[in-house]
Amino acid sequence: MSALRGFLWLIGFLLAGEVLVTLTGLPVSAGVIGMLLLTAWLVLHGGGFDDIAASARPLIAMLGLLIMPGVVGIFFILDELAGQLTAILVALLLGTLLSVFTTLWLMRRLVGGHDTNARGIGHE
């Protein structure tokens, strides 16, 4: 029952994002707006929604399947993207590097206080 409540929270924020996109005409995906709203909600309320975590775990496990339709859709518009190959490659490279460095920065910031024997195992 907890996972169902969490899924309803996720759907609610997706619908709120859809309403905002429809009313404002923002050129952003409703899912992105919904996740930003969910993030703001969790920050304002201190996080800790176990229901959302219970419904998110199975979705994260299937993330590859959830992304697949968008990836496959690219093949249908390859002709339109042909002249922009350099821009796409630069965006992919920079996006990947930024996400790796952001993850590294967050890991160091959040786990920084738990330094576990930086010289290796067995050195005492």
Please indicate whether residue 1 or residue 87 has the higher confidence score (pLDDT).
Answer: 87
Contacts of 86 (CB under 8 A, 6+ apart): none
The whole-number average pLDDT for the span 30-43 is 91
Using pLDDT thresholds of 50, 70 and 90, give the confidence band for residue 119. low
Question: In this structure, are residues 56 and 3 in contact, taking their beta carbons and an 8 Å threshold?
Answer: no
The whole-number average pLDDT for the span 89-115 is 86
Q: Is the pLDDT of residue 57 over 70?
A: yes
The whole-number average pLDDT for the span 38-56 is 84
DSSP label at 47?
S
Q: Which residues of 88-106 are buried (b: 16+ CB within 10 A; e: fewer)?
A: eeeeeeeeeeeeeeeeeee
CA-CA distance, 10 to 51, in Å (whole number)?
Answer: 10
Residue that is written with structure tokens 């899924």 in the block: 7
Q: Is the torsion defined by CA of 57, 58, 59, 61 positive or negative?
A: positive
Instruction: Please tell me the predicted confidence (pLDDT) of residue 49.
Output: 79
Q: Which one-letter amino acid corresponds to residue 36?
A: L
Instruction: Please tell me the predicted confidence (pLDDT) of residue 48.
Output: 65
The per-residue pLDDT for range 63-99, each reduced to its tens digit, is: 888 778 877 888 888 888 888 889 989 999 999 999 9
Q: Is the torsion defined by CA of 4, 57, 14, 67 positive or negative?
A: negative
Question: In this structure, are residues 3 and 58 in contact, taking their beta carbons and an 8 Å threshold?
Answer: yes
Percent of the residues in the chain that have a pLDDT greater than 90, as a whole number: 32
Instruction: Please tell me the predicted confidence (pLDDT) of residue 93.
Output: 95
